[in-house]
Amino acid sequence: MHHTVDRRACRGPACLLLAIILASLNGAADAGEYVPFTGDKTSWHGFDRYDFFLDEANLAITPAEGKNPAAGQRRCIVVVPKEVAAGKPWSWQGCYWDHEPQAEVELLKRGFHIAYITADGNLRPDKKWDAWYEFLTEQHGLSKKPAFIGMSRGGEYAYTWGTTHPDKVSCIYADNTGCNSDALAKLELLARNDVPLLHVCGSLDPLLARFSDTIETIYHQFGGRISVMIKEGAGHHPHSLRDPKPIADFIVESVQRAGGPAPLPPFEGRSVTRSSYYSLESSYRNFPSERNYVTCRGPLFTECYDRYEIRLGFPGAVSVIVPKRAAPGKPWAFRANSVPRDGVVDQALLARGFHIVVGPVGYNIDGPVQSEWDTFYKQLTDNGFSKKPVLEGDGGAAGEAYAWAIANPDKVSCVYGENPVLRSNMSKSPLLDSLGPLAKAGVPLLHVCGSLDPWLNDQTRVAEKRYKELGGQITVIVKEGAGHNPLAPADAQPVVDFIIKCTK
């Protein structure tokens, strides 16, 4: 999910105010005047259904009047809720009308319109779909960002139209989805428009590995939000869930969020791009209504945080992951490399109200530059962030954290390293010979290391001995039988307790 705003002519609180105004205007633009449907009316699951024909030659749309479509005509359907929800939301079925419609019936109960245009293996998304979209949004005032529901080939069609019109989609629910190479190549466009995805799949469905897993991997790389539910032992059928509430909840929440971009934080910079950060850990949950267990992962099942990439004028960007609510004093962790999806310590700190900040590292140099880190440190502290962040990192990135901490010992609450390699491109002096300023300033250190990590004895044990000789406080937690990877501790709590204590 990415939103980019050029801020070269916009600074501080004024820019934040502008973002809020733009967000409200964007939401208002979706709210056209609602025009009720008339014409050929029947009933569908207790709701009024209206049928239309779309002329494939001139794209004219007229009421069906109880007839069957003639050659060159395509049937289109709208089902109307009893009471229209705010914003006139609607879902668009990509294929297989009336197949496992429980999610759509639930959406109708919640005030959504349900729409469909005839599609099959030969009738793919094209200008006819565009005409149907314009008919519903321009002539009847429905939301300009429909939610897509696609099963099998219908999922492929949802992705085909969605990636072609990424600014006109609120979300995609794809069930045992298909896809195609063109749509896969354009998934970044959906991520950049903050379009959340939900996949419901059978664990035995051959499309799971071929398409769903592929889409999930690609979407993660672009910072998009994708949640997955994998039904144990199920094949390609049955689609959907017996209880459609999780699907309907996802769609409703996504539609509500799609009204406009969230206000940007008051970080000054040339541009700010927003994406998402969340854990990829799977949970295995009992769904009594399905009489089955479902493997669940993604933002629907774990906390999801906004991540901002900020350009300040030097080559490397800064990344900031923002907690749901900042802790008193705005504590933060300063690190040199991006936060991995299995970064349990950072995830625990986010849950406790810490910001996680990745300092800039340029593309054409060997590592971070201290003056650039100093610039952003000042940027954050001038905006109310704690003047004593946690410096942290894993492997070689821990060395860069140490280098900045040694140069700024009075600006550090503590240093935490995972299997650290204490060498740095930021510092000209060997780090193991430069620990004195940290010890003098009383900065506590914590290392988590695998007992088989090749750097344990040459780095951490040497640092431990020297720091204690300097009168400093250092704690080493050893993971027995572990090597350099995995970097994170199995239990993050001791590390979090240490950091919380140091930042109080």
Which residues have CB under 8 Å from 185's CB, separation 6+?
none
Contacts of 233 (CB under 8 A, 6+ apart): 202, 203, 204, 292
pLDDT tens, residue by residue, 433-459: 999 999 999 999 999 999 999 999 999
- How far apart CA 224 and CA 249 sit, in angstroms, is 19
SS3 402: helix
Are 263 and 322 in contact by the 8 Å Cβ rule? The answer is no
Euclidean distance between CA atoms 63 and 250, whole angstroms: 32
Q: Each residue of 229-266: pLDDT tens digit?
A: 999 999 999 999 999 999 999 999 999 887 555 566 66
User: CB–CB of 48/41 below 8 Å?
Assistant: yes
Q: Are 240 and 151 in contact (CB under 8 A)?
A: yes
- Neighbouring residues of 210: CB distance < 8 A, sequence distance ≥ 6: none
Q: CA torsion sign, 38 to 42 to 44 to 48? A: positive
Residue 144 CA, distance from chain mean position: 22
SS3 76: strand
Dihedral sign from CA coordinates of 325, 418, 281, 491:
negative
| Amino acid at site 205 | D
Sketch out the chain's domains with CATH numbers. Answer: 3-15+29-257 (3.40.50.1820), 312-503 (3.40.50.1820)
Contacts of 141 (CB under 8 A, 6+ apart): 31, 32, 33, 34, 35, 88
CA angle 80, 159, 307 (to 5 degrees): 100
Cα 389–Cα 6–Cα 307 angle in degrees, nearest 5:
40
Other beta carbons within 10 angstroms of residue 318's beta carbon come to 24
* Cα torsion 118, 119, 123, 127: sign: positive
- Kindly give the confidence (pLDDT) of every residue in the chain, 504 residues in length, as a single tens digit, with 9 standing for 90 and above: 455 544 433 444 334 323 332 333 343 335 579 999 998 899 999 999 999 999 999 999 999 988 899 999 999 999 999 999 999 999 999 789 999 999 999 999 999 999 999 988 788 899 999 999 999 999 999 999 999 999 999 999 999 999 999 999 999 999 999 999 999 999 999 999 999 999 999 999 999 999 999 999 999 999 999 999 999 999 999 999 999 999 999 999 999 887 555 566 665 556 788 899 999 999 999 999 999 999 999 999 999 999 998 888 888 889 999 999 999 999 999 999 999 989 999 999 999 999 999 999 988 778 899 999 999 899 899 989 999 999 999 999 999 999 999 999 999 999 999 999 999 989 889 999 999 999 999 999 999 999 999 999 999 999 999 999 999 999 999 999 999 998 999 899 999 999 999 999
Nearest to 419 by CA among 391, 458, 381: 458
Q: Angle 102-109/245-257 helices, nearest 10 degrees?
A: 50
In 10 A of CB 22, how many CB atoms?
A: 15
Question: What per-residue confidence (pLDDT) applies to 10?
Answer: 40
State which amino acid sits at residue 13. Answer: P
* Nearest partner of 504 among 426, 413, 432, judged by Cα: 413
Helix (H, G, I), strand (E, B) or coil at 167: helix
| 60-74 per-residue burial string, b: 16 or more CB within 10 A, e: under 16 | ebeebeeeebeeebb
Distances (CA, A) of 210 to 142, 176, 184: 35, 10, 12
Cite the beta strand spans of 208-258 per DSSP E: 226-231
According to the model, what pLDDT value does residue 477 have?
97
Handedness of CA 422, 426, 427, 428 (dihedral sign): positive
Distance from the Cα of residue 367 to its chain's centroid: 27
Q: What angle do CA 239, 240, 246 make, to 5 degrees?
A: 165
Reading the block at residue 457, the tokens are 């004895």
Neighbouring C-beta atoms of residue 43, cutoff 10 Å: 9
Residues in the chain: 504
Residue type, 178: G
Tokens 């998402």 -> residue: 276
Q: Which residue from 27, 168, 149 is spatially nearest to 91, judged by alpha carbons?
A: 149
What's the pLDDT at 265? 62
14, burial (CB in 10 Å: exposed 0-12, middle 13-18, buried 19+): exposed
